[in-house]
Structure 1
């Protein structure tokens, strides 16, 4: 398929189909963060199970998204894209009917399988078919449009959760997915690179990375309660590290790897993906713990929690398209240095907030930090995506999109696992220090500390005196934990900006070919 103009009929249908499908994944992610407190309470899920609800999806996505991109390049981007959407729809419906945390975790994994074939398809279709000189503008349009549609995610999630209907967060994917399938079937031509991409798919590599990531995640989430010395922690972390090393070794040896390591010899591609890893690890941790803090500790309703993210979404809508066009003209370095640093400052600002009077204090507490955070991400997202996709030839568009998405999802998996483990450690340490001089027996102290695994949903054990004081300690412990996590997230954002400054060239004008 020849390149097409962004404003042509073919270009518009490609953009609409990509936006419709991407909206499912984005709404799912933004709304799910808001409904997590309701979900945790309804399914009686521990903190570890709550993090697995997030990570089951991300694990499958991270491990299979490279294969999804490669299959699109070989078998046809439209065909693989549509298959991914169908599996995602089925997984979403099953999630909505889940009766236990274990069932929800399993069906979230099914969603992740669908997402692995769906998500690379949107950007690879854009990169492989839209004219090169309009690619940044197209990505900016995609980013702004998906943000505009998905800004309803937190609001819808909060409203549904407050009404006791959190399951409909998954059901709304069904009509969106069916609409995307219809548009693709009727209006979008197939696109593939049969002559330029050859070789078998690296299925063993997918097994290595999937099992390796799962082992590491299990180890980190189990560590706070079992301790580093416990065999199930030490062994699973060791197995995870060995398998990920084996994955990298395999990819460097075989002729047709799932992750083409030679792509990382390209300085722009390497720098952009390092930036992605650190920035999205911080972004995920900040959004997750901010949502839990607002509802479980600060007294926000889940609808009010959703409203707090509105400024973030508005910043993305207002500036994403413009930033993509400016990056086409001036190059990505300035934007990808400033944006993550500004986002990091926003997270650091939010980390200083202690107990508030709830939503009444929003504009003097969380609002400034969220605005700065959103501005930083708005400056970053479109130039970052355009830089990644522009660093390789269009015949590897699906592979590049898959690698970049895999890096982003791996960052999310690690941040959820690591921050989940650290949060329990921080929470336990604060609680143990606070109750040490309250006159509780050793058995009572142990009962109080066992609730640390629930974090913000911790409940004072029955039969223990000083109920109000212990409840206050739990609240203070989570606020302290939230502050520690947000500080780490802010530092990760600043590191991402420094990496962009080091690795990226500030190409301008017609200089579209980044150095290799």
Structure 2
């Protein structure tokens, strides 16, 4: 396989050493994807088991997301000080041990605390995973390996609801966390033996003031988005306003700090590369569209078309299947052709898929739903890996951890903002049982508009 074959002048690890280093990153990615997808499905069972309300149980998911969001920027900078390998292994060990803590939790408060700790471990690995892949593989294979990574994420997303369902029926929810233990052991062993060691570390101290501003900014943004997960109330509106103000003020302070310190937490000069900046913006907006759609689809299937939750989950499968079909080939093509053109084409196909979903008849057949979802997945798969390659290839190698962190932040906050948008839209409707489903379709129109905006930014990038 060409991924593990060396050529003269290759950077990264020698061919044969790449396999187990890649395995360490891929197994860790699998753990993170499984953890998010399977836990969300188990929330109703957790609510009953722990004797708490459904709205309180949601903090099992939100606690993890909050920890990841708050620490992404810090870990992107910390990796340059302590080394990718050491940070990755530390985060992986913390994630695995806290998974055991989650499984043994006997109350909601214990579980949320363990999930928050688990999120910190997850952020330590997620923030630098693409940068590690760039260090493992030569630049000529960067698009291909990022395509394989996208393939893995899509496959895990597709099968995790089925695995979760089997475990919840045959065992119970703590086993969703315990499966991380054998995977974590494999990943730790591979990381210890095969991940590349740093050539040179940044000896400058970490920007602690900038880190504080980033934690407040990123955490407030997530909390603001979460206030829209329930129906709007005056209390929620006041909360949202408070968090929004905190995010804006701390965000302005963070940017000011980064511009005026000699040791920035996030060097803003990486955004001086217009291709990198435009790719980051394009990624952010596209994930807003995906975030809206991922929340709107279950409401469409279950509340408008009256399908069961199991059927709804199966109807969602064509989307990740579409990514599985296209992502590896898109990454391979991006190593040979202009990745901006390929990702723009993917966005156009993605947008067409969203318009087709919005044009579903009042009583569609399952086949009618499936092929439209498949088009969305094909488009997103064609977009994602070339766009990620464009981001990672347009920064200097010593800034790869920062680019990797920005990539993770664009994905996380794009999805969160998309969730907030659809939350606002859904809160305006007291009933989603009408055959027209106007509220859900309005969400699709917002998602389609976001994709159109992403296409505009992507076209600008193509011309550069």
Tell me if both proteins adopt one fold, taking TM over 0.5 as the criterion.
yes
Structure 1 partner of 2:27: 20
Question: Given that residues 12 and 138 in structure 2 are in contact (C-alpha distance below 8 angstroms), is that contact kept between their aligned partners in structure 1?
Answer: yes
Question: Given that residues 4 and 11 in structure 1 are in contact (C-alpha distance below 8 angstroms), is that contact kept between their aligned partners in structure 2?
Answer: no
The answer as to 2:241 corresponding to 1:234 is yes
How does 1:161-200 map onto structure 2 within 5 Å? Answer: 161=168, 165-194=172-201, 197-200=202-205
How does 1:473-492 map onto structure 2 within 5 Å? Answer: 473=431, 475-476=433-434, 479-492=437-450
Give the 3-state SS of the residue equivalent to 2:188 in structure 1: helix
Structure 2 partner of 1:93: 100
Give the 3-state SS of the residue equivalent to 2:335 in structure 1: helix
Question: Given that residues 392 and 404 in structure 2 are in contact (C-alpha distance below 8 angstroms), is that contact kept between their aligned partners in structure 1?
Answer: yes
Question: Given that residues 349 and 375 in structure 2 are in contact (C-alpha distance below 8 angstroms), is that contact kept between their aligned partners in structure 1?
Answer: yes
Give the 3-state SS of the residue equivalent to 2:263 in structure 1: coil
Question: Given that residues 36 and 292 in structure 1 are in contact (C-alpha distance below 8 angstroms), is that contact kept between their aligned partners in structure 2?
Answer: no
Question: Given that residues 144 and 320 in structure 1 are in contact (C-alpha distance below 8 angstroms), is that contact kept between their aligned partners in structure 2?
Answer: yes
1:312 to 319, 326, 345: 319
Tell me how far 1:501 sits from its aligned partner.
0.8
CA distance in 2, matches of 1:83, 1:23: 17
Sort the Cα spacing of 1:393 and 1:401 in 2 relative to 1 into closer, same or farther, 3 A. Answer: same
2:219 to 199, 211, 214: 214
Deviations 1:196-249 (A, max 9, x none): x44222233232232233334444544654338965443332222211221122
TM-score scaled by length of structure 1? 0.78
CA distance in 1, matches of 2:393, 2:66: 27
Structure 2 partner of 1:395: 398
TM-score scaled by length of structure 2? 0.86
CA distance in 1, matches of 2:227, 2:30: 33
2:206 to 188, 201, 206: 201
How does 1:266-285 map onto structure 2 within 5 Å? Answer: 266-285=273-292
- Structure with max Cα Rg: 1
Give the 3-state SS of the residue equivalent to 1:329 in structure 2: coil
Structure 2 partner of 1:452: none
Tell me how far 1:82 sits from its aligned partner.
0.8
CA distance in 2, matches of 1:478, 1:404: 37
Question: Given that residues 43 and 54 in structure 2 are in contact (C-alpha distance below 8 angstroms), is that contact kept between their aligned partners in structure 1?
Answer: no
Question: More displaced, 336-345 or 167-176?
Answer: 167-176
Tell me how far 1:373 sits from its aligned partner.
0.9
Q: What is the number of equivalent residue pairs in this alignment?
A: 454
Gaps of 5+ in 2: 1-8
Gaps of 5+ in 1: 432-472, 506-514
Question: Given that residues 33 and 157 in structure 2 are in contact (C-alpha distance below 8 angstroms), is that contact kept between their aligned partners in structure 1?
Answer: yes
Tell me how far 1:36 sits from its aligned partner.
5.0
Structure 2 partner of 1:420: 423
1:371 to 369, 374, 380: 374
Question: Given that residues 291 and 418 in structure 2 are in contact (C-alpha distance below 8 angstroms), is that contact kept between their aligned partners in structure 1?
Answer: yes
Tell me how far 1:23 sits from its aligned partner.
0.9
CA distance in 2, matches of 1:369, 1:101: 39
Structure 2 partner of 1:411: 414
